[in-house]
Structure 1
Amino acid sequence: MRLVLMGDLHYHEVDEAIPGWLEARNDFYQTFLRRFMEVEGDAHISLGDLTNYGHSSELNEVYEILRNGGRTFYHALGNHDLYASTRNEVLAISGQARYHVVKTEVADLVFLDTAKEMDFEDWGGWVDEEQLSWFEEVIQASGTKPVLVFAHHPVHKTTTNSDKDKGSIHPDIDMWKVLSKKEGVGIYFNGHTHIDSIVNQQNWTFVQLSACLDQHGLRVVEIDRDEIRISAVDVADAALTDNVEMLYNNMKHFRHNPLARGQESDRACTVSLRLAAEHK
Protein backbone atom coordinates (compact mmCIF):
# COMPACT_ATOMS: atom_id res chain seq x y z
CA MET A 1 0.00 0.00 0.00
CA ARG A 2 1.21 3.49 -0.84
CA LEU A 3 -0.12 6.73 0.71
CA VAL A 4 0.65 10.34 -0.25
CA LEU A 5 0.40 12.98 2.49
CA MET A 6 0.46 16.76 2.62
CA GLY A 7 0.60 19.07 5.63
CA ASP A 8 -1.19 22.36 6.18
CA LEU A 9 -2.11 23.76 2.75
CA HIS A 10 -3.87 27.01 3.77
CA TYR A 11 -5.70 27.56 0.48
CA HIS A 12 -7.01 31.09 0.92
CA GLU A 13 -9.27 33.83 -0.36
CA VAL A 14 -7.61 36.83 -2.01
CA ASP A 15 -8.32 40.52 -2.39
CA GLU A 16 -8.43 41.02 -6.15
CA ALA A 17 -7.71 44.72 -5.65
CA ILE A 18 -4.11 43.74 -4.84
CA PRO A 19 -2.37 43.32 -8.22
CA GLY A 20 -0.98 39.86 -8.90
CA TRP A 21 -2.24 38.12 -5.75
CA LEU A 22 -4.99 36.12 -7.46
CA GLU A 23 -2.64 34.96 -10.20
CA ALA A 24 0.10 34.06 -7.72
CA ARG A 25 -2.29 32.09 -5.53
CA ASN A 26 -3.80 30.16 -8.44
CA ASP A 27 -0.39 29.40 -9.93
CA PHE A 28 1.00 28.20 -6.59
CA TYR A 29 -1.88 25.98 -5.51
CA GLN A 30 -2.79 24.54 -8.89
CA THR A 31 0.83 23.57 -9.42
CA PHE A 32 1.30 22.14 -5.93
CA LEU A 33 -1.93 20.17 -5.96
CA ARG A 34 -1.22 18.85 -9.45
CA ARG A 35 2.12 17.52 -8.21
CA PHE A 36 0.41 16.08 -5.12
CA MET A 37 -2.14 14.20 -7.21
CA GLU A 38 0.42 13.05 -9.77
CA VAL A 39 2.28 10.96 -7.19
CA GLU A 40 1.01 7.39 -7.40
CA GLY A 41 -0.80 6.20 -4.30
CA ASP A 42 -3.75 4.19 -3.03
CA ALA A 43 -4.91 7.27 -1.11
CA HIS A 44 -4.00 10.96 -0.95
CA ILE A 45 -4.39 12.57 2.47
CA SER A 46 -4.54 16.11 3.91
CA LEU A 47 -3.63 16.46 7.58
CA GLY A 48 -5.89 19.47 8.01
CA ASP A 49 -5.87 23.22 7.53
CA LEU A 50 -6.59 22.44 3.91
CA THR A 51 -8.04 25.96 3.84
CA ASN A 52 -6.94 29.13 5.57
CA TYR A 53 -10.25 30.14 7.15
CA GLY A 54 -12.86 27.62 6.12
CA HIS A 55 -14.78 29.99 3.85
CA SER A 56 -17.15 28.10 1.56
CA SER A 57 -15.37 29.64 -1.43
CA GLU A 58 -12.01 28.29 -0.22
CA LEU A 59 -13.45 24.85 0.39
CA ASN A 60 -15.33 24.61 -2.89
CA GLU A 61 -12.40 25.87 -4.95
CA VAL A 62 -9.79 23.58 -3.43
CA TYR A 63 -12.10 20.56 -3.60
CA GLU A 64 -12.77 21.25 -7.27
CA ILE A 65 -9.03 21.04 -7.95
CA LEU A 66 -8.66 17.88 -5.87
CA ARG A 67 -11.64 16.10 -7.44
CA ASN A 68 -10.28 16.80 -10.90
CA GLY A 69 -7.23 14.76 -9.87
CA GLY A 70 -9.30 11.59 -9.80
CA ARG A 71 -7.69 10.20 -6.63
CA THR A 72 -9.08 8.75 -3.41
CA PHE A 73 -8.74 11.72 -1.06
CA TYR A 74 -9.12 11.95 2.71
CA HIS A 75 -9.17 15.14 4.77
CA ALA A 76 -8.60 15.23 8.53
CA LEU A 77 -10.21 18.46 9.74
CA GLY A 78 -7.96 21.27 10.97
CA ASN A 79 -8.79 24.28 13.12
CA HIS A 80 -8.48 26.69 10.16
CA ASP A 81 -11.01 24.61 8.21
CA LEU A 82 -13.63 25.37 10.86
CA TYR A 83 -13.22 29.10 11.48
CA ALA A 84 -15.79 30.51 9.04
CA SER A 85 -17.97 27.41 8.58
CA THR A 86 -19.58 24.90 10.89
CA ARG A 87 -18.35 21.33 11.00
CA ASN A 88 -21.49 20.10 9.24
CA GLU A 89 -21.09 22.69 6.48
CA VAL A 90 -17.50 21.62 5.85
CA LEU A 91 -18.40 17.92 5.85
CA ALA A 92 -21.23 18.57 3.40
CA ILE A 93 -18.73 20.04 0.95
CA SER A 94 -16.08 17.37 1.52
CA GLY A 95 -18.55 14.49 1.49
CA GLN A 96 -16.55 12.80 4.24
CA ALA A 97 -17.22 11.55 7.74
CA ARG A 98 -16.07 13.53 10.76
CA TYR A 99 -13.95 10.60 11.96
CA HIS A 100 -13.71 7.09 10.55
CA VAL A 101 -11.52 4.04 9.94
CA VAL A 102 -10.53 2.47 6.63
CA LYS A 103 -9.64 -1.19 7.12
CA THR A 104 -7.23 -2.76 4.63
CA GLU A 105 -5.32 -6.04 4.56
CA VAL A 106 -2.04 -4.40 5.55
CA ALA A 107 -3.12 -1.67 8.00
CA ASP A 108 -6.03 0.18 9.55
CA LEU A 109 -6.16 3.85 8.57
CA VAL A 110 -7.78 5.97 11.29
CA PHE A 111 -8.91 9.56 10.66
CA LEU A 112 -9.54 11.74 13.72
CA ASP A 113 -11.27 15.10 14.12
CA THR A 114 -9.25 17.15 16.61
CA ALA A 115 -10.49 20.62 15.57
CA LYS A 116 -12.69 22.96 17.58
CA GLU A 117 -15.61 24.52 15.72
CA MET A 118 -15.53 28.27 14.99
CA ASP A 119 -13.25 29.00 17.94
CA PHE A 120 -11.01 31.86 16.77
CA GLU A 121 -9.32 32.33 20.15
CA ASP A 122 -8.22 28.75 20.83
CA TRP A 123 -6.58 26.91 17.95
CA GLY A 124 -5.55 23.99 20.13
CA GLY A 125 -6.98 20.50 19.64
CA TRP A 126 -9.77 18.63 21.39
CA VAL A 127 -11.23 15.12 21.22
CA ASP A 128 -14.64 14.57 22.82
CA GLU A 129 -15.53 11.50 24.88
CA GLU A 130 -17.64 9.95 22.13
CA GLN A 131 -14.80 10.05 19.62
CA LEU A 132 -12.26 8.95 22.22
CA SER A 133 -14.35 5.88 23.08
CA TRP A 134 -14.72 5.07 19.40
CA PHE A 135 -10.96 5.46 18.91
CA GLU A 136 -10.27 3.08 21.80
CA GLU A 137 -12.54 0.43 20.25
CA VAL A 138 -10.76 0.82 16.89
CA ILE A 139 -7.33 0.45 18.50
CA GLN A 140 -8.34 -2.65 20.45
CA ALA A 141 -10.01 -4.22 17.40
CA SER A 142 -6.86 -3.74 15.31
CA GLY A 143 -4.95 -6.41 17.24
CA THR A 144 -1.37 -6.59 15.95
CA LYS A 145 -2.21 -5.10 12.55
CA PRO A 146 -0.41 -1.78 12.03
CA VAL A 147 -2.52 1.31 12.74
CA LEU A 148 -1.87 4.60 10.97
CA VAL A 149 -3.62 7.59 12.55
CA PHE A 150 -4.16 10.84 10.62
CA ALA A 151 -5.07 13.95 12.60
CA HIS A 152 -4.39 17.66 12.50
CA HIS A 153 -3.15 18.25 16.04
CA PRO A 154 -0.24 16.36 17.59
CA VAL A 155 -0.46 14.45 20.83
CA HIS A 156 0.84 16.64 23.66
CA LYS A 157 4.61 16.41 24.24
CA THR A 158 5.44 14.25 21.27
CA THR A 159 6.63 16.12 18.15
CA THR A 160 8.42 19.50 17.99
CA ASN A 161 6.40 22.35 19.54
CA SER A 162 3.61 20.02 20.68
CA ASP A 163 4.48 21.17 24.21
CA LYS A 164 3.55 24.78 23.37
CA ASP A 165 0.30 26.44 24.39
CA LYS A 166 -2.41 25.44 21.84
CA GLY A 167 0.21 23.42 19.97
CA SER A 168 -1.42 20.02 20.47
CA ILE A 169 -4.51 18.14 21.53
CA HIS A 170 -5.29 19.60 24.95
CA PRO A 171 -3.13 17.95 27.64
CA ASP A 172 -6.26 17.20 29.68
CA ILE A 173 -7.24 14.69 26.97
CA ASP A 174 -5.47 11.45 27.89
CA MET A 175 -4.59 10.20 24.43
CA TRP A 176 -2.07 7.74 25.86
CA LYS A 177 -4.87 5.94 27.66
CA VAL A 178 -5.94 4.84 24.17
CA LEU A 179 -2.58 4.72 22.37
CA SER A 180 -1.04 2.48 25.04
CA LYS A 181 -3.60 -0.24 24.24
CA LYS A 182 -2.15 -0.75 20.76
CA GLU A 183 -0.45 -4.10 20.20
CA GLY A 184 2.36 -3.87 17.70
CA VAL A 185 3.06 -0.85 15.54
CA GLY A 186 1.22 2.48 15.56
CA ILE A 187 2.13 5.57 13.54
CA TYR A 188 0.49 8.95 14.21
CA PHE A 189 0.65 11.60 11.46
CA ASN A 190 -0.20 15.25 12.13
CA GLY A 191 0.34 18.84 11.04
CA HIS A 192 -0.56 22.05 12.93
CA THR A 193 2.82 23.27 14.25
CA HIS A 194 4.33 23.95 10.80
CA ILE A 195 7.63 22.12 11.36
CA ASP A 196 8.80 18.67 10.30
CA SER A 197 9.39 16.31 13.21
CA ILE A 198 9.68 12.56 13.80
CA VAL A 199 9.65 11.15 17.34
CA ASN A 200 9.45 7.61 18.71
CA GLN A 201 7.64 6.99 22.00
CA GLN A 202 6.86 3.47 23.23
CA ASN A 203 5.55 1.47 20.23
CA TRP A 204 4.36 4.62 18.42
CA THR A 205 6.11 6.75 15.82
CA PHE A 206 4.88 10.35 15.58
CA VAL A 207 5.37 12.02 12.18
CA GLN A 208 4.66 15.73 11.88
CA LEU A 209 4.45 17.56 8.55
CA SER A 210 5.19 21.24 8.03
CA ALA A 211 3.00 23.64 6.04
CA CYS A 212 3.12 23.38 2.25
CA LEU A 213 3.75 27.12 1.88
CA ASP A 214 6.89 26.89 4.04
CA GLN A 215 8.16 23.52 2.86
CA HIS A 216 7.20 22.70 -0.71
CA GLY A 217 6.97 18.98 -0.25
CA LEU A 218 5.00 15.81 0.44
CA ARG A 219 5.45 12.57 2.35
CA VAL A 220 5.07 9.13 0.81
CA VAL A 221 4.21 6.18 3.07
CA GLU A 222 4.90 2.69 1.72
CA ILE A 223 3.62 -0.32 3.64
CA ASP A 224 4.75 -3.87 2.93
CA ARG A 225 4.94 -7.07 4.96
CA ASP A 226 8.17 -6.29 6.81
CA GLU A 227 8.28 -2.52 7.20
CA ILE A 228 6.67 0.88 6.73
CA ARG A 229 8.84 3.42 4.91
CA ILE A 230 8.15 7.14 5.24
CA SER A 231 10.00 9.41 2.83
CA ALA A 232 10.00 13.10 1.92
CA VAL A 233 9.45 14.36 -1.62
CA ASP A 234 10.44 17.94 -2.42
CA VAL A 235 8.44 19.84 -5.05
CA ALA A 236 10.74 22.37 -6.73
CA ASP A 237 8.58 23.94 -9.45
CA ALA A 238 9.28 27.61 -10.20
CA ALA A 239 5.54 28.29 -9.86
CA LEU A 240 5.95 27.65 -6.14
CA THR A 241 9.18 29.49 -5.40
CA ASP A 242 8.31 32.44 -7.64
CA ASN A 243 4.88 33.04 -6.13
CA VAL A 244 5.16 32.20 -2.46
CA GLU A 245 6.53 35.58 -1.34
CA MET A 246 3.43 37.29 -2.73
CA LEU A 247 1.32 34.94 -0.62
CA TYR A 248 3.41 35.47 2.52
CA ASN A 249 3.13 39.24 2.15
CA ASN A 250 -0.64 39.40 1.72
CA MET A 251 -2.49 36.48 3.28
CA LYS A 252 -3.84 36.76 6.81
CA HIS A 253 -3.85 34.07 9.52
CA PHE A 254 -0.55 32.57 8.35
CA ARG A 255 3.01 33.33 9.47
CA HIS A 256 5.98 32.02 7.49
CA ASN A 257 8.22 29.61 9.42
CA PRO A 258 11.78 29.61 8.00
CA LEU A 259 12.67 26.61 10.21
CA ALA A 260 9.92 24.38 8.81
CA ARG A 261 12.28 21.73 7.42
CA GLY A 262 13.54 20.72 10.85
CA GLN A 263 16.49 18.32 10.90
CA GLU A 264 17.25 15.76 8.21
CA SER A 265 16.30 13.07 10.74
CA ASP A 266 12.80 14.62 10.78
CA ARG A 267 12.25 13.95 7.09
CA ALA A 268 12.17 10.17 6.77
CA CYS A 269 12.12 6.95 8.77
CA THR A 270 11.54 3.21 8.51
CA VAL A 271 9.38 1.30 11.00
CA SER A 272 9.94 -2.45 11.21
CA LEU A 273 6.93 -4.76 11.32
CA ARG A 274 8.91 -7.95 11.90
CA LEU A 275 8.67 -7.96 15.69
CA ALA A 276 4.90 -7.49 15.57
CA ALA A 277 4.61 -10.33 13.04
CA GLU A 278 6.65 -12.66 15.26
CA HIS A 279 4.26 -12.03 18.16
CA LYS A 280 1.13 -13.00 16.21
Structure 2
Amino acid sequence: MSADRPLFSFSVVSDLHFMAYADPGETPVDWVPFLTEEIAYLASLEPRFVVCNGDLTNGKLRDYRLAMGAFRPCEMPVYFTMGNHEYYGRYEEPECTSERAQARFLAMTRMPGIYYERIHEGFPFLFLSTEHYTPDSNEAGWLREAQLTWLEDRLRAHAGAPTFVFMHHPLNDTVAGSEGTCLASERVRSLLDRRKNALLFSGHTHCRMDRDDQLVRRGGNVFVGGGCMYEEHPQSRWVDVYEDRAVLRLLCHRERRWLDAFEATARY
Protein backbone atom coordinates (compact mmCIF):
# COMPACT_ATOMS: atom_id res chain seq x y z
CA MET A 1 0.00 0.00 0.00
CA SER A 2 1.20 3.50 -0.78
CA ALA A 3 2.73 5.31 2.18
CA ASP A 4 0.33 8.20 1.76
CA ARG A 5 -2.81 6.05 1.95
CA PRO A 6 -4.30 4.87 5.25
CA LEU A 7 -4.51 1.19 6.10
CA PHE A 8 -8.19 1.79 6.80
CA SER A 9 -10.59 4.45 8.06
CA PHE A 10 -13.45 4.45 10.52
CA SER A 11 -16.18 6.83 11.64
CA VAL A 12 -17.25 7.71 15.20
CA VAL A 13 -20.65 9.13 16.14
CA SER A 14 -22.38 9.46 19.50
CA ASP A 15 -25.49 10.86 21.12
CA LEU A 16 -27.90 10.10 18.30
CA HIS A 17 -30.82 9.70 20.71
CA PHE A 18 -33.15 7.78 18.44
CA MET A 19 -36.60 8.13 19.99
CA ALA A 20 -40.20 7.39 19.05
CA TYR A 21 -43.36 8.59 20.72
CA ALA A 22 -45.50 6.05 22.56
CA ASP A 23 -48.32 6.26 20.03
CA PRO A 24 -49.72 3.36 17.97
CA GLY A 25 -47.53 4.25 15.00
CA GLU A 26 -44.35 4.80 17.05
CA THR A 27 -43.89 8.22 15.45
CA PRO A 28 -40.22 9.27 15.35
CA VAL A 29 -39.12 12.49 17.06
CA ASP A 30 -38.34 15.26 14.61
CA TRP A 31 -34.56 14.76 14.29
CA VAL A 32 -34.73 11.08 13.29
CA PRO A 33 -35.04 11.66 9.51
CA PHE A 34 -31.88 13.79 9.57
CA LEU A 35 -30.01 11.11 11.52
CA THR A 36 -31.12 8.41 9.11
CA GLU A 37 -29.95 10.44 6.11
CA GLU A 38 -26.58 11.17 7.67
CA ILE A 39 -25.96 7.55 8.66
CA ALA A 40 -26.57 6.63 5.03
CA TYR A 41 -24.18 9.40 3.98
CA LEU A 42 -21.46 8.12 6.31
CA ALA A 43 -21.93 4.62 4.91
CA SER A 44 -21.49 6.00 1.39
CA LEU A 45 -17.99 7.19 2.39
CA GLU A 46 -17.10 3.52 2.93
CA PRO A 47 -15.34 3.45 6.29
CA ARG A 48 -14.08 0.06 7.42
CA PHE A 49 -16.59 0.32 10.28
CA VAL A 50 -18.68 2.81 12.25
CA VAL A 51 -18.63 3.27 16.03
CA CYS A 52 -21.77 4.53 17.77
CA ASN A 53 -20.32 5.54 21.12
CA GLY A 54 -23.34 5.59 23.42
CA ASP A 55 -26.77 7.19 23.71
CA LEU A 56 -28.00 5.53 20.56
CA THR A 57 -31.53 5.47 22.02
CA ASN A 58 -33.65 6.40 25.00
CA GLY A 59 -33.80 2.77 26.02
CA LYS A 60 -37.27 1.73 24.83
CA LEU A 61 -37.85 -1.08 22.37
CA ARG A 62 -39.52 1.30 19.93
CA ASP A 63 -36.40 3.51 20.02
CA TYR A 64 -34.17 0.56 19.19
CA ARG A 65 -36.43 -0.47 16.33
CA LEU A 66 -35.98 2.98 14.80
CA ALA A 67 -32.23 3.02 15.36
CA MET A 68 -31.51 -0.43 14.03
CA GLY A 69 -33.68 0.27 11.01
CA ALA A 70 -31.46 3.27 10.23
CA PHE A 71 -28.24 1.25 10.56
CA ARG A 72 -29.51 -1.91 8.85
CA PRO A 73 -28.59 -0.78 5.30
CA CYS A 74 -24.94 -0.26 6.33
CA GLU A 75 -22.77 -2.92 4.72
CA MET A 76 -19.85 -2.37 7.10
CA PRO A 77 -19.78 -3.43 10.78
CA VAL A 78 -21.25 -1.05 13.35
CA TYR A 79 -19.96 -1.24 16.91
CA PHE A 80 -22.13 0.08 19.74
CA THR A 81 -21.45 1.03 23.37
CA MET A 82 -23.98 1.83 26.09
CA GLY A 83 -24.43 5.36 27.39
CA ASN A 84 -26.63 6.62 30.21
CA HIS A 85 -29.69 7.04 27.97
CA GLU A 86 -29.78 3.34 27.19
CA TYR A 87 -31.02 2.99 30.79
CA TYR A 88 -33.90 5.46 30.38
CA GLY A 89 -36.45 2.72 29.87
CA ARG A 90 -36.90 2.83 33.64
CA TYR A 91 -38.88 6.06 33.31
CA GLU A 92 -41.60 4.27 31.38
CA GLU A 93 -41.14 0.70 32.61
CA PRO A 94 -40.64 0.50 36.40
CA GLU A 95 -39.46 -3.10 36.06
CA CYS A 96 -36.62 -2.08 33.69
CA THR A 97 -33.52 -2.69 35.81
CA SER A 98 -29.96 -2.05 34.67
CA GLU A 99 -29.64 -5.74 33.86
CA ARG A 100 -32.76 -5.66 31.69
CA ALA A 101 -31.56 -2.54 29.92
CA GLN A 102 -28.29 -4.31 29.12
CA ALA A 103 -30.11 -7.40 27.88
CA ARG A 104 -32.23 -5.21 25.60
CA PHE A 105 -29.15 -3.44 24.26
CA LEU A 106 -27.46 -6.75 23.48
CA ALA A 107 -30.55 -8.28 21.89
CA MET A 108 -31.18 -5.29 19.63
CA THR A 109 -27.60 -4.38 18.64
CA ARG A 110 -26.28 -7.97 18.61
CA MET A 111 -23.06 -6.92 20.28
CA PRO A 112 -21.09 -9.73 21.98
CA GLY A 113 -21.22 -8.00 25.36
CA ILE A 114 -21.46 -4.58 26.90
CA TYR A 115 -17.65 -4.50 26.72
CA TYR A 116 -15.64 -6.31 24.09
CA GLU A 117 -12.63 -6.20 21.79
CA ARG A 118 -12.07 -6.13 18.03
CA ILE A 119 -8.82 -6.23 16.05
CA HIS A 120 -8.32 -4.49 12.71
CA GLU A 121 -5.01 -4.78 10.83
CA GLY A 122 -3.32 -5.66 14.13
CA PHE A 123 -4.72 -2.58 15.94
CA PRO A 124 -6.81 -3.35 19.05
CA PHE A 125 -10.16 -1.63 19.56
CA LEU A 126 -11.66 -1.80 23.06
CA PHE A 127 -15.32 -0.91 23.62
CA LEU A 128 -16.55 -0.05 27.14
CA SER A 129 -20.01 0.69 28.52
CA THR A 130 -21.43 2.30 31.60
CA GLU A 131 -23.09 -0.41 33.67
CA HIS A 132 -25.55 1.47 35.82
CA TYR A 133 -27.67 4.59 35.63
CA THR A 134 -26.68 7.19 38.23
CA PRO A 135 -29.11 10.13 38.12
CA ASP A 136 -27.94 11.16 41.60
CA SER A 137 -24.32 11.40 40.36
CA ASN A 138 -24.73 13.75 37.39
CA GLU A 139 -25.50 10.72 35.19
CA ALA A 140 -21.81 9.86 35.35
CA GLY A 141 -20.33 6.70 33.88
CA TRP A 142 -20.05 3.72 36.23
CA LEU A 143 -17.94 0.62 35.57
CA ARG A 144 -17.93 -2.55 37.65
CA GLU A 145 -14.70 -4.14 38.86
CA ALA A 146 -14.99 -6.96 36.32
CA GLN A 147 -14.98 -4.50 33.41
CA LEU A 148 -12.06 -2.54 34.87
CA THR A 149 -10.09 -5.76 35.37
CA TRP A 150 -10.87 -6.75 31.78
CA LEU A 151 -9.66 -3.35 30.56
CA GLU A 152 -6.45 -3.69 32.57
CA ASP A 153 -5.84 -7.13 31.08
CA ARG A 154 -6.44 -5.99 27.49
CA LEU A 155 -4.26 -2.89 27.85
CA ARG A 156 -1.48 -5.06 29.25
CA ALA A 157 -1.89 -7.58 26.43
CA HIS A 158 -1.56 -4.79 23.85
CA ALA A 159 1.11 -2.79 25.68
CA GLY A 160 3.22 -2.47 22.55
CA ALA A 161 0.44 -1.49 20.16
CA PRO A 162 -1.46 1.75 19.59
CA THR A 163 -4.88 1.07 21.13
CA PHE A 164 -8.24 2.70 20.38
CA VAL A 165 -10.63 2.82 23.35
CA PHE A 166 -14.30 3.89 23.22
CA MET A 167 -16.42 4.89 26.21
CA HIS A 168 -19.48 7.12 26.16
CA HIS A 169 -18.49 9.09 29.25
CA PRO A 170 -15.25 11.08 29.09
CA LEU A 171 -12.78 10.79 31.93
CA ASN A 172 -13.06 13.69 34.35
CA ASP A 173 -11.24 16.87 33.39
CA THR A 174 -10.03 15.77 29.99
CA VAL A 175 -12.08 17.01 27.02
CA ALA A 176 -14.66 19.81 26.90
CA GLY A 177 -17.47 19.53 29.44
CA SER A 178 -15.93 16.61 31.34
CA GLU A 179 -16.46 17.79 34.89
CA GLY A 180 -17.65 14.86 37.01
CA THR A 181 -18.58 12.70 34.03
CA CYS A 182 -17.07 9.34 35.00
CA LEU A 183 -16.97 7.72 38.44
CA ALA A 184 -14.18 5.38 37.30
CA SER A 185 -11.93 8.19 36.04
CA GLU A 186 -9.05 7.72 38.47
CA ARG A 187 -8.86 3.98 37.87
CA VAL A 188 -9.01 4.21 34.09
CA ARG A 189 -6.56 7.11 34.02
CA SER A 190 -4.09 5.10 36.14
CA LEU A 191 -4.31 2.22 33.65
CA LEU A 192 -3.68 4.53 30.71
CA ASP A 193 -0.83 6.35 32.50
CA ARG A 194 1.15 3.10 32.59
CA ARG A 195 1.47 3.11 28.82
CA LYS A 196 1.43 5.38 25.79
CA ASN A 197 -0.34 5.43 22.45
CA ALA A 198 -3.91 4.99 23.65
CA LEU A 199 -6.65 7.07 22.04
CA LEU A 200 -9.82 7.29 24.12
CA PHE A 201 -12.96 8.46 22.29
CA SER A 202 -15.96 9.72 24.26
CA GLY A 203 -19.31 11.45 23.81
CA HIS A 204 -21.97 12.44 26.36
CA THR A 205 -21.28 16.16 26.75
CA HIS A 206 -23.01 17.37 23.54
CA CYS A 207 -20.20 19.93 23.20
CA ARG A 208 -19.48 20.99 19.66
CA MET A 209 -16.42 19.20 18.36
CA ASP A 210 -14.77 22.07 16.49
CA ARG A 211 -12.96 23.47 19.51
CA ASP A 212 -9.40 22.91 20.67
CA ASP A 213 -10.31 21.32 24.00
CA GLN A 214 -12.06 18.42 22.27
CA LEU A 215 -8.70 16.81 21.53
CA VAL A 216 -6.38 16.64 24.54
CA ARG A 217 -2.90 15.09 24.60
CA ARG A 218 -1.76 13.95 28.02
CA GLY A 219 0.94 11.54 29.14
CA GLY A 220 1.50 10.10 25.69
CA ASN A 221 -2.23 9.38 25.23
CA VAL A 222 -4.94 11.27 23.39
CA PHE A 223 -8.48 12.03 24.63
CA VAL A 224 -10.98 12.72 21.87
CA GLY A 225 -14.34 14.32 22.71
CA GLY A 226 -17.56 13.70 20.82
CA GLY A 227 -20.56 15.84 20.02
CA CYS A 228 -24.24 15.42 19.24
CA MET A 229 -25.46 14.52 15.77
CA TYR A 230 -28.74 16.43 15.71
CA GLU A 231 -28.27 19.70 17.61
CA GLU A 232 -26.96 23.01 16.30
CA HIS A 233 -23.56 21.62 15.30
CA PRO A 234 -24.03 18.05 14.03
CA GLN A 235 -20.56 16.63 13.61
CA SER A 236 -18.82 13.27 13.50
CA ARG A 237 -15.21 12.12 13.77
CA TRP A 238 -13.42 10.38 10.92
CA VAL A 239 -10.15 8.54 11.61
CA ASP A 240 -7.59 7.50 9.01
CA VAL A 241 -5.33 4.82 10.49
CA TYR A 242 -1.75 4.56 9.22
CA GLU A 243 1.08 2.35 10.45
CA ASP A 244 2.71 5.21 12.36
CA ARG A 245 -0.14 7.63 13.04
CA ALA A 246 -3.85 8.29 13.15
CA VAL A 247 -5.25 11.34 11.38
CA LEU A 248 -8.43 12.64 13.00
CA ARG A 249 -10.81 14.68 10.87
CA LEU A 250 -14.12 16.41 11.56
CA LEU A 251 -17.15 16.17 9.31
CA CYS A 252 -19.86 18.84 9.49
CA HIS A 253 -23.15 17.11 8.69
CA ARG A 254 -25.18 20.27 8.29
CA GLU A 255 -23.14 21.20 5.22
CA ARG A 256 -21.47 17.83 4.52
CA ARG A 257 -17.99 19.30 4.45
CA TRP A 258 -14.70 18.60 6.20
CA LEU A 259 -13.59 21.07 8.86
CA ASP A 260 -9.96 21.13 7.78
CA ALA A 261 -8.88 23.58 10.49
CA PHE A 262 -9.55 20.87 13.10
CA GLU A 263 -7.66 18.03 11.46
CA ALA A 264 -5.11 16.57 13.88
CA THR A 265 -2.46 13.87 13.79
CA ALA A 266 -1.68 11.49 16.64
CA ARG A 267 1.65 9.77 16.08
CA TYR A 268 2.31 6.45 17.76
TM bucket normalised to smaller: 0.7 to 0.9
- How far apart are the structure 2 equivalents of 1:101 and 1:149? 9
Q: Give unpaired runs (5+ residues) of structure 1.
A: 239-262, 274-280
Instruction: For residue 83 of structure 1, give the secondary structure of its aligned residue in structure 2.
Output: helix
- The answer (yes or no) to whether the contact 2:247–2:265 under 8 Å persists in 1 is yes
Structure 1 pair 194/233, CA: closer, same or farther in 2 (3 Å)? same
CA distance in 1, matches of 2:246, 2:126: 16
Identity %: 22
Alpha-carbon distance between aligned partners in 1 of 2:28 and 2:88, rounded to the nearest angstrom: 22
Counterpart pick for 2:84 among 58, 75, 79? 79
Match of 2:248 in 1: 230
Structure 1 residue aligned with 2:193, among 180, 184, 188?
Answer: 180
Letter in 2 for 1:46: C
Q: What does residue range 1-280 of structure 1 map to in structure 2 within 5 Å? A: 1-14=8-21, 22=28, 24-51=30-57, 53-84=58-89, 86-96=101-111, 97-117=113-133, 119-122=134-137, 123-163=139-179, 165=180, 168-170=181-183, 173-182=186-195, 184-195=196-207, 196=209, 197-214=214-231, 215-236=233-254, 267-273=262-268
**Separation in structure 2 between the aligned mates of residue 55 and residue 116 of structure 1, nearest angstrom:** 16
Q: CA deviation at 1:157?
A: 1.3
Query: Residue 172 and residue 27 in structure 1: after superposition, are their counterparts in 2 closer, same or farther (change >3 A)?
Result: closer
CA RMSD of aligned residues (A): 2.4
Partner Cα separation in structure 1 for residue 223 and residue 119 of structure 2 = 20
Give how far 1:29 is off. 2.4
Q: TM-score, normalised by structure 2?
A: 0.81
Measured in 2, the distance between the counterparts of 1:264 and 1:40 equals 20
AA in 2 matched with 1:203:
G
Residue identity opposite 1:9 in structure 2: L
Give the secondary structure class of the aligned counterpart of 2:51.
strand
Structure 1 length-normalised TM: 0.78
Other-structure match for 1:245: none
Provide closer, same or farther for how the CA distance between residues 69 and 235 of structure 1 changes in structure 2, counting only shifts above 3 A.
same
Is contact 2:202-2:224 (8 Å) kept? yes
Give CA-to-partner distance per residue, 1:71-126, whole Å, 9 cap, x none.
20001111101210511121111110210111233411000012424x55441101
127 and 82 in structure 1: CA distance in 2 versus 1, 3 angstrom threshold? same
Check whether the contact 2:19–2:32 (CA below 8 A) recurs between aligned residues. Answer: no
- Matches of 1:231 and 1:89 in 2, distance apart? 33
Distance 1:225 1:128, change over 3 A: same
What is the aligned residue count? 239
| Letter matched to residue 103 of structure 1 | I
CA distance in 2, matches of 1:23, 1:156: 31
SS of aligned partner of 2:173: coil
**Could you tell me whether the CA contact under 8 Å between 1:185 and 1:204 is conserved in 2?**
yes
| Contact 2:9–2:48 (CA under 8 A) maintained in structure 1 | yes
SS in 2 for 1:174: helix
* AA aligned opposite 2:36: Q
| CA displacement at 1:69 relative to structure 2 | 1.8
Does structure 2 retain, via aligned residues, the 8 Å contact 1:3–1:41? yes
